[in-house]
Amino acid sequence: MDGPVIGFIGVGTIGKPMATRLLQSGFRLIVHDVNPVPVADLVRQGAGSASSPRQTAQESQVTILSLPSYREVETVVLGDGGVLQGLTPGKVLIDMTTSLPTVTRRIAPLISGPGAHLLDAPVSGGPGRAAKGELSIMVGGAEEIFQQARPILETMGKHVVYTGGTGCGHICKLVANLIAGVNMAVLAEGLLLGVRAGVDPQVLIQVVSGSSGQSRMCDDRAWRILEGSFEPAAGRVDILYKDLITARTLAEEIRSPIPVGTLVAELYQVARAMGRGEWDLAAIGTVYERMTGILVKDRARAGLGAV
């Protein structure tokens, strides 16, 4: 494929299938990660590798970041041997991390210093959707640069939305995950309430799914509570907790109240304290099971609630 050389920094759980998708779509790719294992696998598939973020940026026209948090973004971009040192006029940095918008807006003028451009483009969806190019991507930055980068973004995402100026993509992602986290927690709370009051949990989910309580969390994850199946999947407790804390940091910075989100973050912290950090985020249900003394899966197998 004719097009820019893409540098990809951070080829972990979500970054690797995104990078693989680009590679399989014909893009020329250079990858870097502190973990050599996924790098070696991508190299076997035809990617090049770089020894540092700076080299990655030097050898590519577009550099993509997919990192754990805004702290890693700051280090990778601004640190010694960082991306900033490898940027030249016309190059584009796309930060696909779920990051803090104020950090994004602080980095943006530093990126524009050498004549480069920054897009913030966090994603929603897990490794499976990433492998199929079906992620949702919300993009902030200059619209002209977004249009230039669109073919790259649409290779990885089925729903690519331009959200506004710098930082708007990261704001949208934090809001989306705040709502998702609260939805998951209240789903678990309601489910345990209904089961303890005597309703068959499978019937309860059927009713909720077809009524005003319906949500994507209900559609995608209620079955995990019913089956007691919380093995790591697209979204883990640790990751959602991190995103809720980042949303709370943003709220504190702009003095916007999020009392429900703050409370729910503490519930996820309880799940982490119970050793559930690496479990699917539906494991918030085990917090309520601990408090009520009820295992929903046992009631589901029995086909009844528990008064």
- Say if CB 44 and CB 63 are below 8 A apart: no
Q: What is the CA radius of gyration of the chain?
A: 21
Q: Compute how many other C-beta atoms are within 10 angstroms of the C-beta atom of residue 61.
A: 15
Element (H, E) at 45: none
Element (H, E) at 117: strand 117-120
Catalytic residues: 173
CA 91-95-100 angle, to 5 degrees, is 135
Q: Which two tokens stand for residue 132?
A: 């199929």
- First vs last C-alpha separation in the chain: 63
- Say if CB 184 and CB 284 are below 8 A apart: yes
